[in-house]
Amino acid sequence: MLSCRAVRIALLPLDGRPCNARFPRDLAAIAGHEVRIPPLEILGRYMEPASFPRVREWLLDVRRTADLLIVSVDMLCYGGIETSRDGRVSKEEALRRLETLREIPEARSFSVIMRATVTCHSEETLPLWRAVWEYNVHGRGEIPADVLAEYRLARERNRAVNLRLLELPVAERLYFQDDAGERGPHVEEARELARRGARMMPGADEAGMMMVFRAIGKRASFQATVLGDRNRVALYEDRSIWHSLAEHAEYLGCGLEGGIPLTLVAPAPDSVDRFLDPPPPSRRYRMPIRGVLIDCADANGADPDLMTSVRISDLDAFAAWNTASNSIGTALCHGIAGKGDGRFLIERLLDDWLYQSVVRPELVERCRTDGIDRFQCGERWDAYVDRRLHELSSPWDIRVPPFRAFLPWGRLFEVEIEWL
């Protein structure tokens, strides 16, 4: 753990998406520290893997001037988290790339336990994504032999890398359990790692933020209140929502029994994936909320009924994106960092609420009507997204600085907010 002096941290992220590349940098800056990442052009994009030679070169160069180095094993070995789930990199090559860490033993590393299904990168692969999940988690259905063979090959390769990581002389190893149910092939892999002393928690895309703030050593205490059933398990996770919150807080050195007000909205009984499923019926929220708000009622987006009952000016931090653990890790790190100039909070409101739960459903419907692949729509919706987010945020009771909104990977899943 480092002191609270200004720290220069070099981070090799999971990929170049805002959550992995920008969030750790922006939150660290609020806390008075610097995070450097590689140029985005060497980190790959979507299903194009990063350039290993250039990533390796960057790591060996940046270590000379950084106070601390944090390395994503999935980026190092496979070229990113999306490409970590296919078989393009052989086991032998992945293990060879992992040896780079022997040259930088001061590195703090994090690695993902492969999730229970494949990457969905088109409408055509969406049924496969569902089928592999059902097959692995619930033992139902059948999947094509070639798909199953590649999935198992990638899974065995990633398992070998995770086990080898335990043998390397690095400063820290942390494992994250990516999207997974309470059953599946990941369960025994996690147990195997735990038997060998590995530390792990649910999530993945919050990993860079978590490791940055653990290293910085800045902490905060929260007074946690749960709306709903704290024992409910969120979609794509394998433990109760309270367990997930407690694990993330403990890793960051944060208490949950006094301090900054924190409200955790537990998964709803009718919880949905707001990217893939129809929206649930309206819900009622009457409790006043201030401080830190973590909305885990659904996956992939905030509940609009909740957000319309919240006064934005009462919030210091907010998250409701992707899986419950992604939101929990982001909001805790934001709560630790402090509100800053308010831009990170506004970005989360624009993204997790207005884009994911209001604008994106509009675009999903338009894609369905026009026969456009929501996973491969390019720049066609950028102007629409930008216009709608400006319209929807104009009535807020806080000032929104000038921004531009666009789809960084040309798919509807995530949006990027660029301050002008």
Tens digits of residue pLDDT in 235-270: 999 899 999 999 999 999 999 999 999 999 999 999
What pLDDT is recorded for position 180? 79
Q: What is the dihedral of CA 326, 112, 81, 50, to 10 degrees?
A: 130
pLDDT, averaged across the chain: 95
Q: Do the Cβ atoms of 282 and 304 come closer than 8 Å?
A: no
Q: Do the Cβ atoms of 389 and 355 come closer than 8 Å?
A: yes
Dihedral sign for Cα atoms in the order 389, 394, 397, 401: positive
Question: CB-based contacts of 182: which residues, under 8 Å, 6+ apart?
Answer: 137, 233, 238, 239
Task: Tell me the C-alpha to C-alpha distance, in Å, between residue 335 and each of 99, 254, 291, 332, 373.
Answer: 36, 10, 8, 5, 37
Rounded to whole angstroms, the Cα distance separating 114 from 155 reads 7
Task: Tell me the C-alpha to C-alpha distance, in Å, between residue 327 and each of 113, 139, 202, 208, 406.
Answer: 19, 29, 11, 13, 21
- 188 is written with which tokens? 């025994």
Tens digits of residue pLDDT in 365-405: 999 999 999 999 999 999 999 999 999 999 998 899 999 99
Written as one letter, the residue type at 261 is P
What pLDDT is recorded for position 333? 98
Written as one letter, the residue type at 402 is P
CA angle 399, 322, 97 (to 5 degrees): 115
Measured in residues, the chain has a length of 420
Q: How sure is the predictor about 28, in pLDDT bands with cuts at 50, 70 and 90?
A: very high
In the chain, what are the domains? 8-215 (3.40.50), 219-374 (no CATH)
Evaluate if residue 161 carries a pLDDT over 70.
Answer: yes
Rounded to whole angstroms, the Cα distance separating 223 from 216 reads 22
What pLDDT is recorded for position 179? 84
Tens digits of residue pLDDT in 126-157: 999 999 989 988 888 888 999 999 999 999 99
Task: Tell me the C-alpha to C-alpha distance, in Å, between residue 204 and each of 68, 260, 297.
Answer: 21, 25, 19
Evaluate if residue 417 carries a pLDDT over 60.
Answer: yes
165-184 exposure pattern, b = at least 16 Cβ within 10 A, e = fewer: beebebeebbbbbbbbbeeb
Mean pLDDT of 165-179: 94
Mean pLDDT of 179-185: 84
Written as one letter, the residue type at 193 is L
Mean pLDDT of 104-126: 94
Q: How sure is the predictor about 10, in pLDDT bands with cuts at 50, 70 and 90?
A: very high
Percentage of the chain modeled with pLDDT above 90: 90
Tens digits of residue pLDDT in 304-341: 999 999 999 999 999 999 999 999 999 999 999 999 99
CA-nearest of 76, 74, 96, 99 to 85 is 74
Mean pLDDT of 73-87: 96
4-18, 161-175, 216-230: the lowest-pLDDT one: 4-18
Q: Residue 70: beta bridge partners?
A: 11, 108
Evaluate if residue 181 carries a pLDDT over 80.
Answer: no
What pLDDT is recorded for position 4? 54
Evaluate if residue 5 carries a pLDDT over 90.
Answer: no
Phi then psi dihedrals of residue 179, to 5 deg: -30, 115
Rounded to whole angstroms, the Cα distance separating 232 from 216 reads 32
Evaluate if residue 3 carries a pLDDT over 60.
Answer: no
Rounded to whole angstroms, the Cα distance separating 307 from 128 reads 34
Mean pLDDT of 171-186: 90
Question: CB-based contacts of 138: which residues, under 8 Å, 6+ apart?
Answer: 181, 183
Percentage of the chain modeled with pLDDT above 70: 99
Question: CB-based contacts of 245: which residues, under 8 Å, 6+ apart?
Answer: 224, 256, 264, 294, 328
